[in-house]
Amino acid sequence: MDGAVLSAPYDPSEARAAPKQSSEPPPTEVISAPAKPAEARAPLQSTIRAPVPQVADLHQPTAATSKQSQVTMAAPLVFRLPLAARGLLAVVCILPWIFLEGWGRPWNVSFPPLAGVLAIIAGTILYVRHKSGRFLIIEGIVAIFFAGIIMLATDTWRYWHAAWPMPSGALIVAAAFELRKHITRTWVLAAAGLIFATYTLGAAKYLFDSQLTYNALMAITYLQVLAVVLSGLTLMAFSLLTRRKRPDLT
């Protein structure tokens, strides 16, 4: 950059000597064998002996959860009272029919509409709370309409009165199957419906009245009364078995 003459690193007038060529072959290179992989060693085991910690299973319900599920499966009081009243009403209305002369009206006329009203009340309460109880409502309508209105409007009321417990009991069994997810021990309610449905077998005494003896007629009548009493007691037992339990303070 300053205009000075650059000098060569060697003397240009001196001839450069060519590199000497060696007549010996190149040295032999030894290629080493590949290194062997290290042997896998067993993992070191701890010498500390400690118990395995017990961890609760998150998928298993705890005691508090199981108690809470039992509480939710209990039937509300406003549902149990109508069913208990219906069972007691059945016993009170059927017993004078065989022990007191002329006392068939409480069972023939009073019980069907009152039992229907109680069933509608119980079914409506459950439908409001759990959207279930439709079969109890239908059973109440059957009791009021077929056993109440038709029985009073036709001359063959005895056949209707003896036949209505069959669909009524079947609807009670269907209601127990429907309520099994919301209430515990619904099999007791189903048993009450099945027992009550056997009352319809007594309709044979009206169909074969002339062929049956007096003793046979009375035997069928007692069997009908027994079916009603057992179904009523079963309904009352269901209302007691499904009540809410008091918490254990101990």
pLDDT(64) > 50: no
pLDDT given at position 219: 84
What's the token pair of residue 60? Answer: 């298993």
Q: What mean pLDDT do residues 133-153 have?
A: 80
pLDDT given at position 232: 94
**Domain definitions of the chain by residue range:** 75-241
> Residues 147-185: pLDDT tens digits?
666 666 665 556 667 778 888 999 999 999 998 888 888
Considering 8-22, 94-108, 145-159, the range whose residues carry the highest mean pLDDT is 94-108
pLDDT(68) > 50: no
Torsion 146-113-134-86 (CA) sign: negative
Radius of gyration (Cα) for the chain, nearest Å?
47
**pLDDT, the chain, mean:** 77
Comparison of pLDDT for 199 and 49, the residue scoring more: 199
Q: What proportion of the chain, given as a percentage, has pLDDT over 70?
A: 64
> Do the beta carbons of residue 69 and residue 181 sit within 8 Å?
no
Distances (CA, A) of 19 to 16, 22, 132: 9, 9, 109
> Do the beta carbons of residue 148 and residue 113 sit within 8 Å?
yes
pLDDT given at position 248: 44
Q: Map residue 192 onto helix, strand or coil.
A: helix
What's the token pair of residue 20? Answer: 């000497």
pLDDT given at position 75: 79
Instruction: Give the confidence band of 67 by pLDDT, cuts at 50, 70, 90.
Output: very low
Q: Residues 49-63, buried b or exposed e (16+ Cβ, 10 A)?
A: eeeeeeeeeeeeeee
pLDDT given at position 83: 92
What's the token pair of residue 2? Answer: 């300053």
Query: Distance (Å, rounded) from C-alpha 201 to C-alpha 217?
Result: 12
pLDDT given at position 24: 72
